[in-house]
Each structure stands twice: as structure tokens, then as C-alpha cells.
Amino acid sequence: MHIEIEELAKEFGTSRALHPVSLAAPSGALIALLGPSGSGKTTLLRILGGLEMPSSGRVRFDGQDATNMSVQDRRAGFVFQQYALFKHMTVFENIAYGLRARKRAERPTDAEIGRRVNRLLDLIQLPDIGTRYPSQLSGGQRQRVALARALAIEPRVLLLDEPFGALDAKVRKELRQGLRDIHDETGLTTIFVTHDQEEAMELADFVVVMSMGRIEQVGKPAEIRAKPASDFVRSFIM
Ligand SMILES: Nc1ncnc2c1ncn2[C@@H]1O[C@H](COP(=O)(O)OP(=O)(O)OP(=O)(O)O)[C@@H](O)[C@H]1O
Ligand SMILES: [Mg+2]
């Protein structure tokens, strides 16, 4: 699915989180929103997912106006920094949750849910942990389960907000590659928030550099490195 953002702005009371920003994300791309704290990354991601309404501007999914579309209809898969797994449910049930929550007519059979969950456990390379509880996993494993859970609903877009932010450098690197592999396998349009320039430059097809609610530059990592559009971008990617 390709995503277009037109002149999207967001105010919270009198403060502007997002000045009018425009952006086109091609179908299947892995895109990083990169910027310092407070630059508007999470706000933009939440608007895309339908968790926040913009003050003005439009969002389009495959050319269709999605600005007022419900969270359900957007079919976005979310992964946040804080593991949002259900503590009282096994890994299997956590991943199956979104499928079981569907209306009866759209709910897969138990056998089909089982197949899908097992396929996702393979995809995140944790085939044997279905019966464990989140408290019995490492931080990195929890984030992989969160990713599998987001993928279970067969989302049209994957939205990740600092998904590896709470992990140590080594695990971060492994998961970064894992995300790249899963992205390449699923072909899902993926938007990824980070304030880590190395992570953005290494992982993304396109990097969107943000500062103070504005988009400073959009480009491939090599283009941004070769030709930073402003002093801010130059210093931030160093
Ligand atoms: N619910 C809210 N109410 C009021 N102000 C908000 C709200 N959410 C965000 N803001 C403000 O909007 C601006 C952008 O915040 P946002 O969370 O999008 O930044 P961010 O780039 O994700 O930062 P971080 O890297 O710290 O997560 C900040 O100035 C923030 O204080
Ligand atoms: Mg944020």
C-alpha cells in the first residue's frame, strides 16, 4: 500500500506538534522517521495509524482518503517501545489475539489461527516459545513477539515507534536485521520511528529527517549523507 500525506498539521492546544508536512511513501518501502526528541515523529505515526486526528491536512492510502478512517479499517499493525504484551496470556495467545477478536464471520478457524501463529513464530525465529508467558522472555524476545502480534492481523501497513529503544546495543542490532528480513519477506510498507541516526541510515530505504515539527529532508540514506539539505541535517546525521 502506498501512503500519501498532504499538508498534515497537528496542534495540541496552542502548541504546534506538526507544521504542515507532506510526504509520499511508496508501496513496500521501509521508511524511517528520524529526529530528536519532540520533533513530531510519534505524532505523525499516530495520525497515520488513526490514534490521533490531524488538525488539518489529509492522509491517503492507495489514493483513497483515509483521514477519517477508523483504526480498524486502516488495518495498521503497531509496535511500540514499551512491550504491550498481555501478561496473563501465553505468547501464542498474544499473537492470536487480533484474530480471535474479529467478528465471527471474519474469524479464522482455530486450526487456521494455529497455523498462522506458528508461521509467525517461525518468522520471528522463536518457534518454541508459544506456551511461555511474557515474563519468561528477554526484552528482545518480547519485542519480536510484539512484531509477530502486529503482523498477525495481516496489516496493510506496519507502524513502529522506537521498537528497539529499550534494548541494549547488541540486541538492537540483531533485531534491526530481523526487521529488515521480515520486511523483505512480507513486502509490507513499514514506517519506523527512531532518534538513532545509525539505525535509520542502516535500516531504511528512505529516511525522513524531522526537526521541530517539520520535515527537513527526505531521501535515501546515501543521498542524505552526500547532500544534507540543511545545517541541522548535517549535524544530526554525523
Ligand atoms: N498529547 C499531547 N498533548 C500535548 N502536547 C503533545 C502531546 N503529544 C505530543 N505533544 C507535543 O508535541 C511535540 C511532538 O511530540 P512527539 O511525541 O511527536 O515527539 P517525538 O519526535 O516522538 O519525540 P520523542 O523522540 O521524545 O518520542 C512535543 O513538543 C510534545 O510535547
Ligand atoms: Mg516519540
pLDDT in tens, 116-127: 999 999 999 999
Of 8, 33, 42, the one to substitute when testing ligand 1's pocket (max ligand atoms within 8 A of C-beta) is: 42
Rounded to the nearest angstrom, the gap between the alpha carbon of residue 104 and the centroid of all alpha carbons in its chain is 28
Residue closest by Cα to atom 2 of ligand 1: 12
Same domain, 164 and 232: yes
Q: Over range 55-82, report the average pLDDT.
A: 94
CA of 161 to the centre of ligand 2 (A): 7
Domain end among 153, 169, 192 = 153
- Please tell me the total count of domains within the chain: 2
The three cell numbers locating residue 110: 482455530
Percent of the chain with pLDDT over 70: 100
Q: Relative to the CA of 13, which ligand 1 atom is closest? A: 4
Domain end among 133, 153, 173 = 153
Same domain, 69 and 160: yes
Q: Over range 213-218, report the average pLDDT.
A: 97
Helix axis angle, 139-152 to 91-100, nearest 10° = 20
Range of the domain at 99: 87-153
DSSP state of 165: T
Taking phi over 0 as left and psi of -120 to 50 as alpha, with beta for the rest, 173 belongs to: alpha
pLDDT value of residue 82: 76
Residue 81 lies in a domain: no
Same domain, 142 and 186: no
Same domain, 108 and 141: yes
Burial class (CB in 10 A: 0-12, 13-18, 19+), 151: buried
Is the minimum distance from the CB of 190 to ligand 1 under 6 angstroms? no
197 Cβ contact list (under 8 Å, min separation 6)? 34, 236, 237, 238
What is the C-alpha to C-alpha distance for residues 82 and 161, in angstroms, rounded to an integer? 9
Domain end among 153, 181, 199 = 153
Q: Over range 106-134, report the average pLDDT.
A: 95
Is the minimum distance from the CB of 42 to ligand 1 under 6 angstroms? yes
User: How confident is residue 152, by pLDDT bands cut at 50, 70 and 90?
Assistant: very high
Q: Relative to the CA of 45, which ligand 1 atom is closest? A: 18
Same domain, 51 and 169: yes
Query: How far from 192 is each of 69, 133, 200, CA to CA, in Å?
Result: 21, 27, 8
Same domain, 203 and 176: yes
At residue 93, the 3 state secondary structure works out as helix
Residue closest by Cα to atom 30 of ligand 1: 38
What is the CATH classification number for the domain harbouring 195? 3.40.50.300
Is the minimum distance from the CB of 155 to ligand 1 under 6 angstroms? no
Q: Relative to the CA of 46, which ligand 1 atom is closest? A: 18
Same domain, 160 and 211: yes
Is the minimum distance from the CB of 47 to ligand 1 under 6 angstroms? no
Residue 82 lies in a domain: no
Same domain, 162 and 144: no
